[in-house]
Structure 1
Amino acid sequence: MSRTSPPPATAAPDVPSLRVVRLAVHIAFYALLAVALGPALLGEEPALVLLPGAALAAVYGAGVVRHRDRPVPWLLAVTALWLVLLALDARFSYVAFPIFFLCLHVLPVRRSHPAIAAATAAVVAAQAAAPGGLTAAKVIGPVAGAAVAIMTGYGYAALYRESQKRQRLIDDLVRTRDELAAAQREAGRLAERQRLAREIHDTLAQGLSSIVLLARAAETAPGEAARARVREIGRTAADNLAEARRFVQALTPPALEDAPLPEALRRTTVRTVPGAVFRVDGDPCPLPVETEVALLRLTQEALANVARHARAEHAAVTLAYLDGQVALDVYDDGVGFVPGELPPDGRRTFGLHGMHERIAELGGTLTVESSPGEGTVVAVVVPTVTRPVRGAGGTPSGSWGRNCATSHSRPAAAIRPRTVAP
């Protein structure tokens, strides 16, 4: 079938615009048929045309209502009944106009145009046999009607193609939307897995590592010191159990539930690296929960690395409240390392990468300064946002109600300890 020909009846998509066009053709058919049958219905003309007229209306309606798997036989039946009526009365010439549309709608272009030409010739012949004989008007009228029908049919074909194109576009958009939604869901799952990996690494893994170190220390410690280590193991295990429950309850870390951030960091420092120094600079101010959690996790990770790898004699943690920022430095005078290089065993570490991600999500910066034999400084600067104050047990506390904007304003580098007294 030609690209410019109207589509077959069975292929037309069920879209509102095309339904309106088809409905208009059907209404025009029945309206013109009623006008042609009018004199016979009113008794002004012989009733000879009523029976074939009723048959034509019934056959046409049956083809419209039922889904036609073979529309060509239906078109032939409609055309045959119309030709019978046309032979009986030239008044049925007007019904040819919707017949033209049916030919364009059902037949391919190589057949629809000859069919329209034959129907036009039949109309001209019927008009010539009517009173008054053949005139120019009786020829021009049917030919003009056929031409209008053909041009309208091509417009209908263009509308059909446009509807198909729009439907394909809609299908593409729906498919793209579904793919985007699936990609977003997958990205969300990956982000959640990454977040949980950081949480587990920064909490449970570090706590279990501390338990292992304490257990080893208890093995070689004298009696009272061993019992103290065992008690410390119990406290660390209890904290880990609380951390595991937090994953289910989505609560803040236990260390921050009953103490403000400086106290939580002090406890973590003393517990993870006995003998390490903790210091607070500036006036403490309230921070968002996610900022406090990130600083606590970073301190745990950095101190765990000091305890496991640094072999340091001294370590220090400094928390500084600056003007619109909070800075955290973790320093040790241990063996150091070359930032960016893999450990000697070739094992990839997740901690530093996780720390960078945590701080980046808060809009802060993390810097690691180290070299072999020169110790290590992990420095973090995070912007502060004032929030409702949370005291011990999660209740408001007036002592934590100050704004960080009123605190000291010093660069982070100024508070990093390069040497720590024994």
Structure 2
Amino acid sequence: MARWDGTETAAGPAGDPGTADGEARWFRVLLHAGFFLLLGSSLTRFLMRHTGDGIAPWVVALSAVLAALYVAEPAIGDERRHRHLWLGACAAVWVALVLLAPSFAWCSIPLFYLGLRHLRPPAAGVLVGLLTVVSVTAQLRLAGRFEFDLLLAPPAVAAICVAVFVRMDEQTRRQRELIADLVRTRRELAATERREGTLAERQRLSMEIHDSLAQGLSSQRMLLQAADRTWRSDPATAHRHVRAAGEIAERNLTEARRFVHDLAPADLAGGGGLDEALRTLARRESTAGLAVRCHIEGVPPRRVPDRVQSALLRIAQGALANVREHAAARTAALTLTYLDDQVVLDVADDGRGFDPAAVRADGGVRGHGLPAIRTRTDQLGGTLTVESAPGEGTVLSAAVPLPAV
């Protein structure tokens, strides 16, 4: 359906409630009701004053034809040529009616709207001007003398109708553009959320793999290398290393299965909670050559959420993996401290240490360990502090707030 700017829309006929040409339904109903009210009142006025007039049957017939044409608007379809023929027929019948009975000039108001609606601006302006001239002529004929107000009133009414239509059409166009922008924005937002979700899931998977499977594989490699070195000189020790590597492989398999099903870490599955999981981790790391002590200070003021327990255990695993692979330390200590509003995990070692400022300067690209720990802490709304210096060991502290009761 044509709009005032001449563009086409994918709308149905004007009488269709599902049309998308922009007018509000109430306005269309009011316009249609006004047309038939004007047509009926003009016909009634004519018949009351010209009962025995010979042109009365013609006026009645033309009124019926105009009403039928108006009602037939939904059936004309979207073909431009059909719309133009239909509009021309309506205008011709109306002109004939006005020539026979000038009181029908008031029916031009709905025809203004039809012309503006179905024609491009130049043609619509010509039609509105023609209808206005016919209306002025009809009113002057009806008055029987020249009256200045009759010369100005129809053009004023036409100008008001055009202004109202153009204003409504402009608002409709802006609303349509706004809706299109909103739909496009929603699609872009959904695409962005999908991308962010994909990246977050990739990051989660990389951290889980680093903190579970990769650590286990690293421990196995170290144990097997140790077994290979002592295989001939100390078979018992070598056998102990191989057995420990087998136990780590079994735990890795359990972790992998739980990892696939997105379950909590295996060390938390036994029901002993975070305290027992950290003690188990310390004992396991001690069998791999790094002496790890575990200290628990205080008691939890409230139940620690599973998400926090899982993250703190992964932080401890990642920190010990860094100690084992990079620090060349002999001992390490895990300290879990429960405070009133937070829980603090400290991981200290006596290794070679490093410069934290240098790590921040290169973007933390020393592998997945420290960035993964920082990400986990940030996701819980906590803070991560790393204190270290070359030759002085490292202390990593992750403080995570506990949710209020």
Length-normalised TM-score, structure 1 = 0.76
Alpha-carbon deviation of 1:386?
Answer: 8.5
1:240 and 1:280 mapped to 2: Cα distance?
Answer: 25
The residue number in structure 2 matching 1:147 is 156
Alpha-carbon deviation of 1:212?
Answer: 0.6
Q: 288, 292, 298: which is aligned to 1:283?
A: 298
Q: 56, 61, 75: which is aligned to 2:71?
A: 61
1:214 and 1:45 mapped to 2: Cα distance?
Answer: 118
Q: Are the aligned partners of 1:103 and 1:116 in contact in 2 as well (CA < 8 Å)? A: no
1:99 and 1:261 mapped to 2: Cα distance?
Answer: 80
Query: Cα–Cα, structure 1 residues 150 and 270, in superposed 2: closer, same or farther, change >3 Å?
Result: same
Alpha-carbon deviation of 1:33?
Answer: 3.1
Higher RCO, Cα 8 Å, sep 6+: 1
Alpha-carbon deviation of 1:91?
Answer: 4.3
Alpha-carbon deviation of 1:225?
Answer: 1.7
Q: Are the aligned partners of 1:338 and 1:371 in contact in 2 as well (CA < 8 Å)? A: yes
The residue number in structure 1 matching 2:309 is 292
Q: Report percent identity of matched pairs.
A: 40
Q: 232, 240, 250: which is aligned to 1:238?
A: 250
SS in structure 2 at match of 1:57: helix
The residue number in structure 2 matching 1:111 is 126
Q: Are the aligned partners of 2:282 and 2:294 in contact in 1 as well (CA < 8 Å)? A: no
Worse-superposed segment, 165-174 or 271-280: 271-280
The answer on 1:228 being equivalent to 2:240 is: yes
The residue number in structure 2 matching 1:88 is 100
The answer on 1:328 being equivalent to 2:345 is: yes
The answer on 1:264 being equivalent to 2:274 is: no
Q: Are the aligned partners of 1:86 and 1:93 in contact in 2 as well (CA < 8 Å)? A: yes
Q: Are the aligned partners of 1:310 and 1:335 in contact in 2 as well (CA < 8 Å)? A: yes
Query: Cα–Cα, structure 1 residues 126 and 257, in superposed 2: closer, same or farther, change >3 Å?
Result: same
Q: What amino acid sits opposite 1:291 in the alignment?
A: V
1:361 and 1:10 mapped to 2: Cα distance?
Answer: 51
The answer on 1:120 being equivalent to 2:135 is: yes
1:326 and 1:28 mapped to 2: Cα distance?
Answer: 75
SS in structure 2 at match of 1:224: helix
Alpha-carbon deviation of 1:19?
Answer: 4.5
Worse-superposed segment, 52-61 or 179-188: 52-61
SS in structure 1 at match of 2:226: helix
The residue number in structure 1 matching 2:336 is 319
1:142 and 1:25 mapped to 2: Cα distance?
Answer: 25
Matches within 5 A, 1:134-213: 134=145, 136=147, 140-141=149-150, 143-213=152-222
SS in structure 2 at match of 1:148: helix
The residue number in structure 2 matching 1:338 is 355
1:253 and 1:364 mapped to 2: Cα distance?
Answer: 20
C-alpha distance after superposition, 1:19-38 (max 9, x if no partner): 54444444333333334444
2:310 and 2:293 mapped to 1: Cα distance?
Answer: 18
Alpha-carbon deviation of 1:205?
Answer: 0.4
1:326 and 1:36 mapped to 2: Cα distance?
Answer: 87
The residue number in structure 2 matching 1:250 is 262
SS in structure 1 at match of 2:69: helix
SS in structure 1 at match of 2:392: coil
Q: What amino acid sits opposite 1:69 in the alignment?
A: R
Alpha-carbon deviation of 1:155?
Answer: 1.2
Query: Cα–Cα, structure 1 residues 292 and 63, in superposed 2: closer, same or farther, change >3 Å?
Result: closer
Query: Cα–Cα, structure 1 residues 156 and 9, in superposed 2: closer, same or farther, change >3 Å?
Result: farther
The answer on 1:364 being equivalent to 2:382 is: yes
The residue number in structure 2 matching 1:349 is 367
Q: What amino acid sits opposite 1:62 in the alignment?
A: A
Q: 314, 320, 323: which is aligned to 1:303?
A: 320
The answer on 1:215 being equivalent to 2:224 is: yes
Alpha-carbon deviation of 1:97?
Answer: 4.2
Q: Are the aligned partners of 2:384 and 2:399 in contact in 1 as well (CA < 8 Å)? A: yes
Query: Cα–Cα, structure 1 residues 191 and 34, in superposed 2: closer, same or farther, change >3 Å?
Result: same
Q: Are the aligned partners of 1:364 and 1:381 in contact in 2 as well (CA < 8 Å)? A: yes
The residue number in structure 2 matching 1:382 is 400
SS in structure 1 at match of 2:356: coil
Q: Are the aligned partners of 2:224 and 2:242 in contact in 1 as well (CA < 8 Å)? A: yes
Q: Are the aligned partners of 1:364 and 1:380 in contact in 2 as well (CA < 8 Å)? A: yes
The residue number in structure 1 matching 2:90 is 78
Query: Cα–Cα, structure 1 residues 124 and 9, in superposed 2: closer, same or farther, change >3 Å?
Result: farther
* Gap runs ≥5 in structure 1: 388-422
Q: What amino acid sits opposite 1:293 in the alignment?
A: S
2:7 and 2:62 mapped to 1: Cα distance?
Answer: 25
Query: Cα–Cα, structure 1 residues 84 and 200, in superposed 2: closer, same or farther, change >3 Å?
Result: same
Q: What amino acid sits opposite 2:62 in the alignment?
A: P
Alpha-carbon deviation of 1:66?
Answer: 1.5
Alpha-carbon deviation of 1:113?
Answer: 5.0
Alpha-carbon deviation of 1:101?
Answer: 4.3
1:175 and 1:92 mapped to 2: Cα distance?
Answer: 48
The residue number in structure 2 matching 1:398 is none
Worse-superposed segment, 11-20 or 289-298: 11-20
Query: Cα–Cα, structure 1 residues 55 and 314, in superposed 2: closer, same or farther, change >3 Å?
Result: closer
Query: Cα–Cα, structure 1 residues 10 and 151, in superposed 2: closer, same or farther, change >3 Å?
Result: farther
2:323 and 2:39 mapped to 1: Cα distance?
Answer: 98
1:386 and 1:88 mapped to 2: Cα distance?
Answer: 86
1:103 and 1:275 mapped to 2: Cα distance?
Answer: 89
Question: How much is the aligned-residue C-alpha RMSD, in angstroms?
Answer: 3.3
C-alpha distance after superposition, 1:347-391 (max 9, x if no partner): 73110111111122223332222222222222333334599xxxx
Query: Cα–Cα, structure 1 residues 240 and 119, in superposed 2: closer, same or farther, change >3 Å?
Result: same
Q: Are the aligned partners of 2:132 and 2:158 in contact in 1 as well (CA < 8 Å)? A: no
* Gap runs ≥5 in structure 2: 12-18
Q: Are the aligned partners of 2:109 and 2:161 in contact in 1 as well (CA < 8 Å)? A: no
